[in-house]
Structure 1
Amino acid sequence: MAVTTIDWIRHGQTYANTLGVIQGQLDTAVTWLTPTGERQAQRRHQQLDLTPYDRVLVSPLHRAQQTATWLAADYAGPVTTDPRLMESAYGTWTGQETATLLAQFPTAFDPLTREVRPPVLSRIGGESYLQVQRRLGQVIAELVVDHPHEHVLVVSHGLTIKNAALLMLAAPATLALPEPTNLSLTRTTVDPVTGHRYLNSYSEPV
């Protein structure tokens, strides 16, 4: 069966990741890759066969661009930046430390994953899961229509990729599916004839 295949890779470790800072759409030096993040990207590049990919799409945020530079170092196909692949917005909590917010608002976070609970996002001026899925849905639909049988690599972000997976599953906003890890690979496919969507794998580690 000829399908549209989209492989999603999360960016490498950032300084904000190590500091427990909520990044969202923040794009300053604290959100750039650490040396560990660069090594993660190099290792994924060594593991990744770029031959099957027809194109690469990348979030405009610097951490994703850095990661894509490593991943597609010797890739000859088109590499395109798409703002719809940005991380979810966290409103007034952008750039703040999770530990501080957790102490002030303990019920706003999942106790295991420490992710912000979906209903809280709109209250702090962030994007809802539905809003993120709408922009991702546009990207996916365009790929299915314009490039129905292609294999596409997307370099994006944790909550963004999680929402792409939930979109494939037609699942509600949930914390039962943790965000994917740095440089992990998630594979989704769409049948361009029937429109059926599939989550083939999720958060495969580097």
Structure 2
Amino acid sequence: MTVILLRHGRSTSNTANTLAGRSEGVDLDERGVEQAAAVVGRVGELPVRAIVRSPLLRCERTVAPLAAALGVEPIVDDRLTEVDYGAWTGRKIGELVKEPLWGVVQQQPSAAVFPDGEGLAQVQARAVAAIRERDRALAAEHGGDALWVACTHGDVIKAILADALGVHLDGFQRITADPASMSVIRYTDMRPFVVHINHTGAQLSAGLAAKPATDAVVGGSTD
């Protein structure tokens, strides 16, 4: 099973340099709308079987063109929602960088808990559980080999990728997930394989349409 982790397109909060969190009504900006439309061509002819998304509006808008093109009804999974930033929600990034907690978020995110919100360790636990459980369910439904899209948020994607890479959560700030980027993980019985990180090119590899020839090569190389 292979999942394409799609970050929502650029939002009005991104351009305002505020921390949107779970604020109601944060939509895509003009560039974000263009990015959402471009997702259709970037996915191309890849055989996507399902689309799962965060409940927030910016993710709904991002997957809408792809869902229409594929004739697929997106599934909403609350566990893929944005981080609950609590009292930080809606504040300017320029203000937040002066907070003592900002340094913890950057250097030791596993210990970061947002005031009146959730901790980043909780975010990783719920998001990884959502992806792995959904992946197993789709594998059972489609005979063990299918491609699907999960549309969620930057920190959520970074946390999922850290888990797949076997990287401690404290290293997740080294991972980049730009608006409308795609990161790809192939889950197998042995381990996850990270195929793409922060892909922003015109089209994903057509190789994703095919079942991997070998996931069990010693050393992970066929050279």
Question: Under a length normalisation based on structure 1, what TM-score does the superposition of the two structures give?
Answer: 0.84
2:117 corresponding residue in structure 1: 126
Q: Which runs of 4 or more aligned residues in structure 1 lie more than 6 Å from their structure 2 counterparts after TM superposition?
A: none
Number of equivalences: 195
Q: Aligned-pair distance for 1:119?
A: 5.6
User: Could you tell me which residue of structure 1 aligns to residue 132 of structure 2?
Assistant: 141
Give the partner amino acid of 1:181.
D
- Alignment gaps of 5+ in structure 1: none
Aligned partner of 2:67 in structure 1 is 72
Say whether residues 1:58 and 2:53 are aligned partners.
yes
Cα distance in 2 between the residues matched to 1:53 and 1:202:
18
Larger Rg: 2
Q: CA deviation at 1:203?
A: 0.5
- The 5 Å alignment of 1:19-58 reads 19-28=16-25, 31-49=26-44, 51-58=46-53
Higher helix share: 2
Once the 2 structures are TM-superposed, how far is the Cα of residue 107 of structure 1 from its aligned partner? 6.9
**What's 2:102 paired with?**
108
**From 122, 126, 146, the counterpart of 1:150:** 146
**TM-score, structure 2 normalization:** 0.78
3-state SS in 2 of match to 1:202: strand
Deviations 1:31-54 (A, max 9, x none): 211111101111222222254111
**Equivalence for 1:95:** 90
Q: RMSD in angstroms over aligned alpha carbons?
A: 2.3
Distance of 1:115 and 1:18 partners within structure 2: 21
Bigger RCO (CA 8 Å, 6+ sep):
1
Q: Give aligned-pair identity as a percent.
A: 24
State the distance in 1 between where 2:22 and 2:75 align: 19
Other structure's SS at 1:161 match: helix
Alignment match, 1:172: 168
| Cα separation, partners in 2 of 1:107 and 1:61, compared to 1, 3 Å | closer
